[in-house]
Amino acid sequence: MPRSFSFSAKRSAVAAAIAFALGLCSSSMADTAAAADSSTAHPNFSGIWERTAKPMKELAPPAFTPQALKALHPQLTPGEAVWASHGIGTDDANCHPRRQPWMLQQSVPISIVHDGDKMVLIYEKRSAPMHVYIGRDQVDAAKVSPSLNGYSVGRWEGDELVVDSVGFMDRPGHGSIETLPFRPTTRITQRFSLAKNGEELKARFTISEPEYLDKPYVYDYTWRRLPYATNFALVELCDARDPDRLKY
C-alpha cells in the first residue's frame, strides 16, 4: 500500500473521530440547553416591586359574619385608646410583625427572590420572610405547629404560580383582613403572574375564613418593577421601647 494512501486514510479516520466527538458534544450541549429551557419555562418573579398608584381591586366587599364585626371593634385599654387618638394602632405601637397578605400591600417595596422551586417574599419593615415551596404537597394544618406566615406551597398552572397558605399562628398583629386575627381555619390563595413584558406583577388573593367570612374574599393586586441597579432594600426595625412610642 502506498505511504501517501496510508497517511490519507489515517487522516480521514482522525477526522471522522473528531466529527463523532463533536457530534456527541453538540448533542450533550443541546440536551443541557433543553434541560435549562425546561427549568426556565415558567416566569421568574425575582425583583424589587412597588405597588402601583391604584393597586387593589375588590371583586366584592368582604362578607363579614357577626363574629367578625365584633372582632373588628375590640374593647381598647386606656393606653390603647390614647394611642388611637394619635392615629397609632395597637399593632404599630407594640411593633407587632406584619404578616402576609398585609405585608405585601404596604407602600414600602417588597423584594422577591425566586430560584427554581423556592420563592421568598420579603417586606422591608418589621416582617418575617414568606417562604414558598414550589412543587411540594400542602401540610395538614392540624398536624403542624402554627407559623407566623403560615406554610406556603406553590404549583404552576400555565404561567401562573398558585400559592396556597395554611397553618397561621394566632397571635397579635395584622391579620388576613384588616385587624381580624388569624384562625386555625384561615386559608389564603394567591395567583401570581407577570404582565406588560415583565414590568408588572399581578396577584389574585382569595381569603377563606368560615368564622369571619360568609364567603371567600377575593381581590386583585398589582405591583410595578423597580430598576434593580438603583434600588436597595431599606430594612427597618421596630422597638416598642423607643421613647417616641412611650411618650403617649
Instruction: Let me know whether 3 and 96 are in one domain.
Output: no
Instruction: Let me know whether 221 and 169 are in one domain.
Output: yes
Contact 155, 134 (CB under 8 A): yes
Tally of structural domains, the chain: 2
145 vs 172: which has the higher pLDDT: 145
- What is the per-residue pLDDT for 234? 72
Let me know how many helices (H) and strands (E) the chain has, helices first. 5, 9
pLDDT one-digit tens code per residue, 118-169: 999 988 777 788 999 999 999 898 888 888 888 999 999 999 999 999 998 8
Segments forming the whole domain that contains residue 202: 47-246
Beta strands in 59-117 (DSSP E): 110-115
Q: What percent of the chain has pLDDT over 90?
A: 41
Residue with cell 367570612: 213
Residue with cell 366587599: 61
pLDDT one-digit tens code per residue, 12-62: 444 444 344 434 434 433 333 333 333 458 999 999 999 999 999 999 999
- What is the per-residue pLDDT for 1? 42
| 82-91, 176-185, 189-198 — most confident range | 189-198
Say which CATH number the domain at 89 has: 2.40.128.20
